[in-house]
Structure 1
């Protein structure tokens, strides 16, 4: 009997090794093919190459035309067909199956995007290309030698062509009756005028943002001895010519068209449901943002339930600090008491930066207790540049390069310090930095055992869901020693719950901007300026704000499931490494991966 058992086990081990070897060969073949495909794909976008710290096509700007989108989609379709013809998903390991499904998923979503390509507003105050391109040239285009500077000048010229393509698309969009709210163009016009004000467009005044940046890069080359004075003068003249001849004219044309459109825009609009086929477009945006098939009504109800739950937690903290009054009176106290604000001065702004860094440094030291995989990339905390800074606008994260040469950056809008309370800053720092966006995105970019394309993917519900989960995880890690800052954490969380209610209210229930603002005020302590900026953000980027809470709730649900299944064998490091160790993915795939980890642990 013992001999039989030994032979049986030996046979099973042998068959298992054979199966593993077969998986490894097929996985390796797929990964090699996917890396080749991704290289072809990323080479189509000079700006994507630059964002990754690469210098191929360094003197070019992407083709922004509809035709370029169609060509990219046709390439993706052909690529997926080739994958399905050459690789059987059933013959791959579970990890490789995820890669297979993700490559196909991005094509399916791109196909839907093209179907609705004239719906996303071309020019708006949050992600408009009028500031995106200058931001790329200033913050992403590194100049290390003379060829890099010549490439930058070439890009300044090419940005004129790109902006003209975008203007053509905005005109096509308007012809369909799809226009943003009036406030969007008013803000865009102001920002665009700021980009062509000052030198070299005018003899007097300060240097314009792009010109100031370019001059600084030329002077740095001269100081390093890369160029002499004559070459520096020549490069300055070329920069001035590119700005005057290519950059300024298209911005003037864009401003003139935007101003001519102002009478056609609504002062008090509702959401995108007011557009032709707007309901279908919004459902598409919900799918893209949440990676689920949830309806607007379902998401709206989840938001209402979460708002009610979080308010009960808020009342408990209010009781802990012995505040006498109701929740709205506590909101008023948090919003007005001077102890919760930095002075609206340069010293106050620097205080916000310094204190944010201190919170992040303290928590970063505790990461090894909760994570096996840690990021290598550095993190910086900065104020947003003046040309794109807006009062009350939300803080945001900008990823670094995979090679670590450009660190990840947490940006804060600090023009109005009354809109940047101390109570919420700690939670925001964890959201944007560690263990939030910086950690998740940096780890993804540094992964080596998965195809390259997965290290650069970003699914809204996963990325933002992780960052919101990180805010409450930070409490578990010892953050929020000040109870008022813990209340600020709940302010941040209820903010995301309110988003579910307001976003769906605006875009599927006919809410106006004022109705959305009023709901926000009734249920949170966020400042009036921040509320207005938030609601206007949702109005021009439908659906995006729903990903945060939906993603967070899924990660919390998966953790609870794993804890119940594994009991004393639950390992917090293993759970976090499972969530982060495969890069960003849709929530259904993430659930499958966590369940696979639980099964292996058992």
Structure 2
């Protein structure tokens, strides 16, 4: 109805709004807004872009990704934006006003991605559609229906791959690809499947190696046989086809420029990524300047640690010492995993001193799979899992491991995300991940480790500072590459000179920033927003400030744009710094 009334609607809306009381206007606006996001979320579920409430099973199908459906999604989200823009946020109740700010930014980002046809580049230096689908094989299956649905999913895989390959060809034709230099060696994940000696040697057979008790023994062998046949006759040929395309056509013709501003869409495209990943309207020049200023502050802290350990030499010499002295590196993958587990348990001992609400969801500490490890980050975390990269141990410094663990496990990603998921009475879209908030929180968690006494040696504290510098330097490097004409070598040199990251990590990280514009900006700007909000609350509340209440208030939000976080802390201060959770009677 809103769209059908066209140009007559705004005047009618204003008159109607004036005739209603504020409470009536809020009720009316709330109802309209809820109708929009409820409808859109149901559509997302239908499109296989989201899961329905309570759906924990394995999907029997893969989402369609062909150009026609992508164009339809763009039109749909643009229509949703028009409906949203017919609502005045001031007319909404306070709770729905927050929801509106989160939701409109989310839909705008989704529409922008479609408008710039990002689906034509379903691969970057960090991940690709052919690695994304393997994660389904690593999740636990609970029922026989999960296994049957998974077999249906494997049957659908070739068609899905053909759609993605067509998207890549379309992107190739208009120069919308990752830079060629960042794709070197990224075919290993394809060849590990395509060239596997037997189906049983592929990750796709993992669920069929052991079965839960819910699957009758009489069914297990039949499921194994079906899986082996499908992997051999369907999945491996599909991977082989993409492998040949990737090696023979895509990589040789991929663009040779680095900057996002050199891609179709140019400056507007890069600015859309800045908005998506920072939830601010800062531009590249402003972010670059912030990065340089923050790097200067961190370097001063680094020199303080060097004095503490009585190192005789300059910062480059100290970094070289840290990168090469054997005392700082694990001898075996098991040692690295055990050290990560030790840090995680140290957090557990302090958790109730810093958080009132603790999530029910626990997490496992796991090695990054071999087929992804060479180009994967040092670690990655989320609900239920903290993945530690045990590939190339001389590149995995033990002095950085505590900071990495706090970031990826608890109180970082494997803590923050479950807290968000466990919140009651919030719309489904509020459980979506916003990078500036989530990565900002995880980086804040690294700094928090100093207060919590997690870092036991000056070297571990320096590892935390090196990680801070790593994220602050991303503000310089990302904008340098994508807006200021920096070369790959220039970006690598900046990280080598300002962090203790190994050469291997520096190379993989820079390629990630080159092929994933804007994402690297999330971390430090998000942390700065949380630190600023905390400092403001501490100053305003004085003795009333309770760190547990502050942390609970931030995490209860789930994942929101940074301006929404600041507004929530204004309310937190006005209410006297109370806990967001009602006290039990």
- TM > 0.5 fold call: yes
Structure 1 residues 22, 526: CA separation in 2 closer, same or farther (over 3 Å shift)?
Answer: same
1:404-435 residue CA offsets vs partner (Å, 9 max, x unmatched): xxxx2111111111111001000010011111
Partner SS for 1:171: helix
Structure 1 residues 361, 37: CA separation in 2 closer, same or farther (over 3 Å shift)?
Answer: farther
Question: Contact between 2:378 and 2:396, CA under 8 Å: does it hold in 1?
Answer: no
Question: Contact between 1:371 and 1:572, CA under 8 Å: does it hold in 2?
Answer: yes
Structure 1 residues 143, 492: CA separation in 2 closer, same or farther (over 3 Å shift)?
Answer: same
Aligned equivalent of 1:329: 317
Aligned equivalent of 1:8: none
Alignment of 1:502-521 (within 5 A): 502-521=477-496
Structure 1 residues 382, 597: CA separation in 2 closer, same or farther (over 3 Å shift)?
Answer: same
Question: Contact between 1:391 and 1:529, CA under 8 Å: does it hold in 2?
Answer: no
1:276-311 residue CA offsets vs partner (Å, 9 max, x unmatched): 332221111111111111111111111111111101
Bigger mean CA deviation after superposition, 539-548 or 472-481: 472-481
Work out whether 1:220 is the aligned partner of 2:204. Answer: no
1:535 aligned residue (505, 510, 529): 510
Give the whole-Å Cα distance in 2 for the aligned partners of 1:462 and 1:32. 24
Aligned equivalent of 2:467: 492
1:158 aligned residue (156, 160, 179): 156
1:364 aligned residue (337, 341, 348): 348
C-alpha displacement of 1:33: 4.5
Aligned equivalent of 1:132: 132
Give the whole-Å Cα distance in 2 for the aligned partners of 1:208 and 1:164. 20
Aligned equivalent of 1:473: 448
C-alpha displacement of 1:566: 2.0
Structure 1 residues 118, 358: CA separation in 2 closer, same or farther (over 3 Å shift)?
Answer: closer
C-alpha displacement of 1:47: 6.8
Aligned equivalent of 2:8: none
Bigger mean CA deviation after superposition, 542-551 or 123-132: 123-132
1:381-420 residue CA offsets vs partner (Å, 9 max, x unmatched): 1101112221673311133xxxxxxxx2111111111111
Question: Contact between 2:354 and 2:548, CA under 8 Å: does it hold in 1?
Answer: yes
Give the whole-Å Cα distance in 2 for the aligned partners of 1:283 and 1:582. 26
What is the TM-score of this pair, normalised by structure 1? 0.86
Question: Contact between 1:46 and 1:57, CA under 8 Å: does it hold in 2?
Answer: no
1:498-528 residue CA offsets vs partner (Å, 9 max, x unmatched): 1111111111111111111111112122110
Question: Contact between 2:292 and 2:476, CA under 8 Å: does it hold in 1?
Answer: yes
Structure 1 residues 266, 66: CA separation in 2 closer, same or farther (over 3 Å shift)?
Answer: closer
Partner SS for 2:201: coil
1:289 aligned residue (277, 282, 289): 277
Structure 1 residues 397, 585: CA separation in 2 closer, same or farther (over 3 Å shift)?
Answer: same
Give the whole-Å Cα distance in 1 for the aligned partners of 2:203 and 2:57. 25
Partner SS for 2:365: strand
Give the whole-Å Cα distance in 2 for the aligned partners of 1:84 and 1:284. 19
Give the whole-Å Cα distance in 2 for the aligned partners of 1:248 and 1:554. 47
Structure 1 residues 295, 88: CA separation in 2 closer, same or farther (over 3 Å shift)?
Answer: closer
1:80-115 residue CA offsets vs partner (Å, 9 max, x unmatched): 556676x76434432221112222222222221111
Question: Contact between 1:381 and 1:411, CA under 8 Å: does it hold in 2?
Answer: yes
Question: Contact between 1:120 and 1:541, CA under 8 Å: does it hold in 2?
Answer: no
Question: Contact between 2:120 and 2:168, CA under 8 Å: does it hold in 1?
Answer: no
Partner SS for 1:293: coil
Q: Give the RMSD, CA atoms, in angstroms.
A: 2.6
Alignment coverage as a number of residue pairs: 556
Work out whether 1:580 is the aligned partner of 2:529. Answer: no
Aligned equivalent of 2:402: 426
Aligned equivalent of 1:341: 329
Work out whether 1:233 is the aligned partner of 2:231. Answer: no
Question: Contact between 2:382 and 2:409, CA under 8 Å: does it hold in 1?
Answer: no
Partner SS for 1:49: coil
Structure 1 residues 505, 49: CA separation in 2 closer, same or farther (over 3 Å shift)?
Answer: same
C-alpha displacement of 1:373: 2.1
Question: Contact between 1:290 and 1:551, CA under 8 Å: does it hold in 2?
Answer: yes
Give the whole-Å Cα distance in 2 for the aligned partners of 1:125 and 1:194. 17
Work out whether 1:305 is the aligned partner of 2:293. Answer: yes
C-alpha displacement of 1:493: 0.3
Q: Which runs of 5+ in 1 are unaligned?
A: 1-18, 400-407
Give the whole-Å Cα distance in 2 for the aligned partners of 1:366 and 1:175. 55
C-alpha displacement of 1:459: 1.2
Aligned equivalent of 1:280: 268
Give the whole-Å Cα distance in 2 for the aligned partners of 1:32 and 1:277. 34
2:501 aligned residue (526, 538, 542): 526
Question: Contact between 2:194 and 2:237, CA under 8 Å: does it hold in 1?
Answer: no
C-alpha displacement of 1:199: 4.3
Work out whether 1:207 is the aligned partner of 2:205. Answer: no
Alignment of 1:368-447 (within 5 A): 368-390=352-374, 393-399=377-383, 408-447=384-423
Question: Contact between 1:69 and 1:114, CA under 8 Å: does it hold in 2?
Answer: yes
Give the whole-Å Cα distance in 2 for the aligned partners of 1:88 and 1:263. 50
Structure 1 residues 144, 77: CA separation in 2 closer, same or farther (over 3 Å shift)?
Answer: same
C-alpha displacement of 1:479: 1.5
C-alpha displacement of 1:349: 1.0
Partner SS for 2:216: coil
Give the whole-Å Cα distance in 1 for the aligned partners of 2:395 and 2:172. 34
Alignment of 1:547-586 (within 5 A): 547-586=522-561
